[in-house]
Structure formats: C-alpha cells, structure tokens
Amino acid sequence: MKKNFKLILKIFLVLLVIAYTSLLFVEYFRYRNDKPMMIVLKEKVKNYDDGNVHIYYGLGYKSIDYQRKSIYGKQFGHIFIREMTAEDE
C-alpha cells in the first residue's frame, strides 16, 4: 500500500512540474506576441508624471508594461524582478 502511494505521489509531482513549466512557456510566448496573460492574479497600475506602468502578477511570474515617455517597453520574469526607473534606462 505504501509503495502505491509513493508511486502515485511521484507521478503527481512530475505531472505538476510539467504542467507548471508548460504554463510558463505559454505565458512567455503570449507575452512575446503582445497578447495578455492567461492567468492574472493581481493587476497594479502606477501613475507617473510622464505616463503609467501596468504590472500583472501571475503564478510566480510577472509582466511589466511601461507606457512612459522616459521608459517604454515591457518585461517578463520571476515575481521578484524590479520595476525599471528612468535612471536604469
């Protein structure tokens, strides 16, 4: 009985890792093709004098869309990536 449980647990964990990796690839390629993210847990908009920044949080990753005069572009990465400032540019 214990062997069956361990086998089922291992299979479940492998399938979970494969599903999460597939989700990351799908989200990244949607980002590259300027399509919206499929899974958005939280959305934040920061307003500045020269425009705004849209931040979209997913499952362990985030996408940042810059619509400012000083910074224009986008980023995709892990949840801890920092927002660029005009000094970083």
Domain count, the chain: 1
Domain residues for the domain of 34 are 2-78
d(CA 72, CA 65): 8
pLDDT at 88: 62
For residue 75, give the H/E element and its range: strand 72-78
Residue 9 lies in a domain: yes
Residue 85 lies in a domain: no
pLDDT at 86: 67
DSSP 5: H
d(CA 71, CA 6): 51
Q: What is the pTM (predicted TM-score) of this model?
A: 0.80
For residue 20, give the H/E element and its range: helix 2-32
Residue 86 lies in a domain: no
pLDDT tens digits for range 30-82: 999 989 899 999 999 999 998 999 999 999 999 999 998 888 889 999 999 99
